[in-house]
Amino acid sequence: MEEILKELQATKGVRVAALLSEDGFVVEEVKEMGAPEASLLSARAATALGTAKALAQTLGQEGVEEVMVEYPEGALLLVPLSGYHLLLLLDSVRSLGRVRLALKRAVPKLEVHLGQGPQ
């Protein structure tokens, strides 16, 4: 698990990569020096993802693939996994394309590790 998060965090622009439980507790985290701790973001991130899921239901959607919150100096990505979610803190939205490509490789690995994907 840690290796997968390290691969994500090594992607240019990713300051924090963390796996969180659905209720917002940090399961595993890797971050660059000086980046905020995932524990400072996790509970509120879980709330943001819960709100996005409720909006999806209201819109008649199956679920949420990703939630992004953009800030003047970065962005926060939340990716739901069954029973967990992945949190990525980016230094800039310019990194978004590169990070989404890294996610396409990392999410299936995480799902296998969490017992949710094909073995």
Give the span between the Cα atoms of 58 and 71, in whole angstroms: 26
Residue 5 contacts residue 88 (beta carbons within 8 Å): no
Using one digit for the tens of pLDDT, what is the confidence trace for 59-99? 999 889 999 999 888 899 999 998 899 999 999 888 899 99
Query: Of the candidates 114, 105, 98, 106, which has an alpha carbon nearest to the alpha carbon of residue 21?
Result: 114
Using one digit for the tens of pLDDT, what is the confidence trace for 7-27? 999 999 999 999 999 888 999
User: Which stretches within the chain are classed as H helix?
Assistant: 2-9, 38-58, 96-113
**What residue ranges do the domains of the chain occupy?**
2-113
Q: Where does 2-113 sit in CATH, by number? A: 3.30.450.30
Say if pTM beats, i.e. exceeds, 0.85.
yes
Query: Of the candidates 88, 65, 103, 74, which has an alpha carbon nearest to the alpha carbon of residue 19?
Result: 88
